[in-house]
């Protein structure tokens, strides 16, 4: 059986996109999803996303990690899906869609996608790290030697270690550049390696840095391995509302497999 697919990337975080509005894709076939995401035997991607019809909204997002399992929210994936929906003619320049963590608003203009993320009110501060959920769980900690740091080894230790255990977490290492700019490298669960960018990860970092008073800004620049992203929000005491993830989302190619 042939499968038509589209490839998109957002600051190097890449995804296999499938138009599943006709419900032709077997969503229970985790081995097939993992195969399609495999960089040697398949297409190659950090995740696979299905665009589906929704009875009341513009569309529905179904997201799978590269290991084949349906997963929590993916910020860059959501942004890429908005670009995909625009290219398919499903939307024009604005969208409201459903993902696993609820409703999301989005805007697209000149290849830049703004995606509204969840409100965040529970930021857990510890001695050496911060933990919060921005649609996916994220551990955030500082690392001065971030340029040559062993992200895969150190990230996997934290990802499976206490207190996260079986459920696991994504792990973000951060270096402050200046008052409104931070460098971020992320180990992603489900990919089980460093990715060039993580949307929910940089959202978590931006909020964590504001919580830790590393910045007073509410528009934060995040330099990731695959480019640059921005996160803006409204901060009301310990509640973060109107959170937006901003950055490019790019069509790469279309094919059949």
Active site residues: 74, 198
Annotated binding residue at 155? no
CA distance 108 to 106: 7
Write the pLDDT tens digit of every residue in 29-40.
999 999 999 999
Question: Token pair for residue 48?
Answer: 């696979």
Q: How far apart are CA 242 and CA 219, in angstroms?
A: 12
Domains and CATH numbers, the chain: 4-114+249-256 (3.10.310.10), 124-247 (3.10.310.10)
Whether residue 242 is annotated as binding a ligand: the answer is: no
Contact 90, 98 (CB under 8 A): no
Residue 163's pLDDT is what? 85
| pLDDT, tens only, 141-177 | 999 999 999 999 999 999 988 889 778 999 999 999 9
Is 75 assigned a ligand-binding role in the annotation? Answer: yes
Quick one: pLDDT at residue 1?
84
Looking at residue 166, its pLDDT comes to 76
Residue 238 is predicted with a pLDDT of: 87
Tokens standing for 195?
A: 């990715």
Q: Which residue has the tokens 């019809």?
A: 53
Of 149, 168, 236, 155, nearest to 194 by C-alpha is 155
pLDDT digits over 63-84, tens only? 999 999 999 999 999 999 999 9
DSSP E strands in the chain: the ranges are: 4-10, 13-19, 47-52, 59-65, 94-99, 102-109, 112-116, 124-125, 130-133, 137-142, 170-178, 181-188, 193-195, 219-224, 227-236, 239-248, 250-256
User: pLDDT-based confidence at 46, cuts 50/70/90?
Assistant: very high
pLDDT tens track for 216-249: 999 999 999 999 999 999 999 889 999 999 999 9
């Amino acid at each position: 059986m042939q499968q038509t697919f589209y490839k998109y990337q957002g600051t190097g975080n890449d995804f296999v996109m499938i138009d599943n509005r006709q419900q032709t894709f077997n969503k229970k076939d985790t081995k097939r999803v993992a195969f399609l995401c495999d960089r040697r035997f398949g297409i190659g991607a950090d995740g696979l996303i299905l665009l589906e019809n929704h009875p009341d909204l513009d569309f529905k997002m179904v997201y799978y990690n590269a290991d084949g399992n349906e997963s929590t929210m993916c910020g860059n994936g959501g942004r890429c899906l908005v670009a995909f929906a625009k290219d398919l003619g499903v939307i024009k320049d604005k969208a409201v869609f459903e993902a696993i963590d609820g409703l999301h608003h989005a805007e697209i203009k000149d290849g830049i996608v703004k995606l509204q993320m969840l409100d965040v009110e529970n930021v857990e501060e510890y001695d050496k790290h911060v933990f919060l959920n921005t649609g996916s769980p994220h551990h955030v900690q500082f690392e001065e030697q971030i340029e040559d740091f062993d992200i895969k080894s150190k990230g996997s230790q934290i990802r499976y270690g206490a207190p996260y255990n079986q459920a696991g977490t994504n792990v973000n290492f951060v270096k402050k550049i200046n008052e409104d700019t931070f460098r971020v490298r992320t180990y992603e669960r489900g990919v089980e390696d460093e990715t060039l960018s993580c949307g929910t990860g940089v959202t978590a970092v931006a909020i964590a840095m504001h919580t830790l008073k590393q910045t007073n800004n509410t528009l934060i620049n995040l330099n990731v391995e695959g480019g640059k992203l921005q996160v803006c929000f409204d901060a009301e005491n310990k509640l973060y509302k109107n959170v937006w993830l901003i950055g490019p989302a790019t069509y790469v190619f279309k094919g059949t497999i």
